[in-house]
Each structure stands twice: as structure tokens, then as C-alpha cells.
Amino acid sequence: MSPGYALFIVLGFLAVVLLLEGGFMLWSYTTSPEVKRIRRRLRLMAVGRHRKSDATLLKERLLSVTPGLQRLLVRLPKIQQLDRMLLQTGSSSTVAQLLSVCLLAGFGGIVLAMMLKWPWQWALLIGLALAVLPLLRLSWLRKRRVNKIGAQLPDALDMISRALRAGHAFPAALAMVGDQAQEPIASEFKATFDEINFGLSTQTALLNLASRVPIPDLRYFVLAVVIQLETGGNLAELLGMLAELIRERFKLFGRIRVLAAEGKLSAYILTALPFCVAGLIQIVNPGYLSILFTDPVGPRLVITALVMMVVGCLAMWRIIDFRV
């Protein structure tokens, strides 16, 4: 073997090793689970901060990875509320990605309607409906996650109360909830503990937690802790009583839901019955309902009936909507 060939093999081996090492370092510094966890905490704190002067060392929340698009989105009104709603779902996506999905869905609906040779009014309506679907799904995911946090809150308060009785400090009790509780409430308390460690006051960190998770029970917890920090008192006993009160409220709300189930079922049946009957009539006798669309009075009757149905649905919804 010639010396040049041996040197080539050694250099090739070193190049492969350095390439693998570089790839591993790139992965560990950009997409590793630890980096994602830190970025998520910083994003949660950046969106949920209560006073800007207290968070000068925190990373600013980016609406897009593209600088030009970031500057454009910042100027849009109410964009921060959409960003906060996106984070409240527990998603790692940005506002730019969400808006891109909405635009693609709307454009796809318009193209599909044009390919089917539907009228342009229907094409615009379908495109608008498909563009709104990602936002509706986002709202549903946010509501589901917030409700899950509300259901986990009594156990978290009991854990904090037991930690305080054992002699731990309040930030250490928050850290225990972040480490031992289940998701999604664990990540929220982890973010609050990190805010306190990064230099924010306990009151500001708790107010940030209340702004990130908009449920009344959590606000009661924050208010109780803030008052205790100013006036003093037995915080462990207070949190234990609050956890028991939240559990009793959930029990009462469950009984009310059972009693209101019949009313909800009646509302669903009354709402769907006219459409089901109209569909069956159209299948059995297609020409029977044609007078509603050919006679000049027909569309007015249909619009009046739909308006009255909407009013009736709102009335039934208000009747069965109980607040505990």
C-alpha cells in the first residue's frame, strides 16, 4: 500500500468522523428534546409576561422565522391574541404557519369548487369556510387543553399544600408540581418556576400563569397566593381548602350536566328535525319543495324560518348553559 493511499484512507476516516460529530452537534443545538423544552418555556414566558420591564432578559416570541414576515405580522392588530391562543393549545407552531395553513385551505377550497364548475359565490363561500376551519380547530384544542388543566388543578394544589406543610418553599413546591404532575399542567408550572428563577417576582410570575391559562379556578389560586404574600397566613391550609372547593364545584357541575342532558338532547333534535324532514321529502318527492325556490314568497319564508330557528337555538342554549 502506497503512503498516499494510506493517507487518503486516514483523511477519509477523519472526514467521516467529523461529519458525524458535526451532524450530532447540529442536532443537539437545534432539534434536541432539551432545546425544544427550553424554547417552549421561553416562548410561554414571553407571551405570558405581565410587565415588560420585568422580562428584559427573556427571549422575544417570534411570530415567524422569516424577519420580513415577522415585521409584517407584528403590525397586524390582535395578532398577539392569536399567538397566545396558539400557545395555549400546547402547539409549537408559529402564527405564520397557522395563517399559511388557513390560506392554503381556503385556496384549495376555491380551486376545488372551480374545478367542479360551481358558481363563484359558492366557491368563495367554500374557500372562506375551509380557511376558518384551522382556527375553529385551534379554538377547540385550546378549550380542551384549558379544561384538562382545570381538572388537574385540585391535585396540583394538594401537592403544593403538602409540600408547604413538609417545609418546602413556595417556588420549590411549584417545581415539584412541574416535575411530578401530568401534562399539560406540569409545563405551565415549570414555566412559572423558571420565571421565578430567572429573576421575576413571584407575584409577576403567577400573574403570567393566570394570563396563560384563563380559567377562574387558577385565578383564585393566584389571588390567594398574592394576598398571602402581602398579608401573611397559613398558605398550605388555604390551598387545601381551595382544592376541596374546586372538587366540590366539579361535582356540582357534573350533577347539573346530567340534569341538563335531556334539555340538550331536545335542543339537538329540534334543531336537526326540519333539515332531516326536508331532506327526506326531497328524496321521496323531489318536486314537492320546488315551490319554495320558484315562488317569490318562498325564499322569504325560508329566510324567516332560518332566522327563527337561530333565535330558538340561542334561547335553548342560554337555558341549558349553567355557570357554577
At 56, the pLDDT band (50, 70, 90 cuts) reads: very low
Lowest mean pLDDT among 70-79, 138-147, 220-229, 313-322: 70-79
Burial class (CB in 10 A: 0-12, 13-18, 19+), 194: buried
Look at residue 50 in the predicted model and tell me its pLDDT: 46
Residue 76 has, within 13 A of its CA and on its CB side, a CA count of 15
Q: By C-alpha distance, which of 213, 82, 240 is closest to 148?
A: 213
- Res. 10: pLDDT tops 70: no
146-251 fold: Receptor-associated Protein (1.20.81)
At 51, the pLDDT band (50, 70, 90 cuts) reads: very low
Q: Indicate the average pLDDT of the chain.
A: 77
- Res. 57: pLDDT tops 50: no
- Res. 45: pLDDT tops 60: no
Neighbours of 235 (CB within 10 A): 19
Domain boundaries, the chain: 58-145, 146-251, 259-320
Neighbours of 218 (CB within 10 A): 23
- Res. 3: pLDDT tops 50: yes
Once rounded to an integer, what is the mean pLDDT over residues 169-190? 85
Once rounded to an integer, what is the mean pLDDT over residues 193-216? 84
C-alpha cell belonging to residue 131: 380557511
Per-residue pLDDT of 146-173, as tens digits, reads 888 888 888 888 888 888 888 888 888 8
At 53, the pLDDT band (50, 70, 90 cuts) reads: very low
Lowest mean pLDDT among 34-38, 111-115, 310-314: 34-38
Task: Report the b/e string of 53-65 with b at 16+ CB within 10 A.
Answer: ebbeebeebbbbe
C-alpha cell belonging to residue 198: 430567572
- Give the containing element (helix H, strand E) for 90: none
Highest mean pLDDT, choosing among 43-52, 67-76, 252-261, 315-324: 252-261
More confident residue, 185 or 50: 185
Neighbours of 7 (CB within 10 A): 10
Look at residue 127 in the predicted model and tell me its pLDDT: 83
At 46, the pLDDT band (50, 70, 90 cuts) reads: low
